[in-house]
Homo-oligomer: A and B are copies of this chain.
Amino acid sequence: MESRKGLIRFLSDTEEKQFLSNISIDCVVLGFHDGHLKVLLLRFTETDLYALPGGFVRQEESLDEAAYRILAERTGLQNIYLRQFHTFGDPARRNDATHRQIMAVRGLALPDSHWLFERFISVGYYALVDFSEVHPKPDDFSDAADWYELEALPPLVFDHNQIVDKALSALRLSLEYAPVGVNLLPEVFTMADLQQLYETILGTRLLRTNFQRKMLSLNLLERVDKKRTGKAHKAPYLYRFVTRTFPDGADSSSGFLD
């Protein structure tokens, strides 16, 4: 979308309806860095309003396709593990003042009847990304796309803080039966990295020695090589997931349980 012109076209409701009414998608993009889970937030241009990257569903695309497109359009991220986790439908979850503020900054005064002020149901997706590989870029609505620590998020617009909470719950649950590390860690990593990730997601401490055995017993990891860290101790092995699962385009119908 090329800046202001694109913005206006996006918002027009005189031309043929391009989006489904009353439905939005919000993505909780999670990364892992420095022992912390991070969430990707957009800041709306010239405001102090932070939001999850979200958007609307085109007439011809599925929810999953929409989620991928929205994430790409709004952050530049592509080929990412995305999973639908919950749909948020509180009638009071949005407030118009926020939208007006966002638009006012761009010099756009929308009429009260504009579709943007209707009620929206939002389908929540969470995304897991390799923090080190990803370089989000803000779109025309935003002047910043940055990572924030999950434990210390700023207040977000609408019910986005709740959406993040729910996403984390879903992630914790999935940790029990899916190798989420594949998506949150670089191609190769140390056992300590993996353990730190698990501890962060679960919010508990784990015993180093037993964690190692447990992980290796799952036959998901393959030992690669020794790392020379230049640190004054034994260099750890590097590992890689053997099942390069969830490459992309994971249809939600092949969800958790199938």
Q: Which residues of A contact B (CB under 8 A)?
A: 20-23, 57, 59-64, 66, 84, 86-91, 119, 121, 123, 162, 166, 169-170, 172-173, 252-253, 255-258
Nearest 7 CB-CB pairings of A with B: A63-B89, A169-B257, A21-B21, A20-B22, A87-B87, A62-B90, A21-B22
**With A20-B21, A252-B86 given, is the CB distance from A91 to B170 under 8 Å?**
no
Partner of A87, one of B20, B59, B63, B166: B63
Q: Which residues of B contact A84 (CB under 8 A)?
A: 86-87
Report Cα–Cα, A86/B258, bound state, in Å.
Answer: 13
- Minimum CB–CB distance for A254 against chain B, Å: 11
What secondary structure prevails in chain A residues at the interface with B?
Answer: mixed
- Minimum CB–CB distance for A250 against chain B, Å: 14
* A57 and B162 contacting across the interface, CB-CB below 8 Å: no
* A91 and B60 contacting across the interface, CB-CB below 8 Å: yes
Report Cα–Cα, A86/B123, bound state, in Å.
Answer: 9
Return the chain B residue nearest A19 by Cβ.
Answer: B22
Q: Which residues of B contact A63 (CB under 8 A)?
A: 87-90, 121
Report Cα–Cα, A22/B58, bound state, in Å.
Answer: 12
* B89 and A255 contacting across the interface, CB-CB below 8 Å: no
**With A23-B22, A57-B121, A170-B257 given, is the CB distance from A64 to B89 under 8 Å?**
yes
* A91 and B59 contacting across the interface, CB-CB below 8 Å: yes
- Minimum CB–CB distance for A56 against chain B, Å: 11
Report Cα–Cα, A173/B256, bound state, in Å.
Answer: 9
* A121 and B169 contacting across the interface, CB-CB below 8 Å: no
* A123 and B20 contacting across the interface, CB-CB below 8 Å: no
Return the chain B residue nearest A67 by Cβ.
Answer: B89
* A91 and B119 contacting across the interface, CB-CB below 8 Å: no
A-B contact pairs, 22 of them (CB 8 A): A20-B119, A21-B22, A22-B23, A23-B23, A57-B89, A57-B121, A59-B91, A59-B119, A60-B91, A61-B91, A63-B87, A63-B89, A84-B86, A89-B123, A121-B121, A121-B123, A162-B253, A169-B255, A169-B256, A169-B257, A169-B258, A173-B257
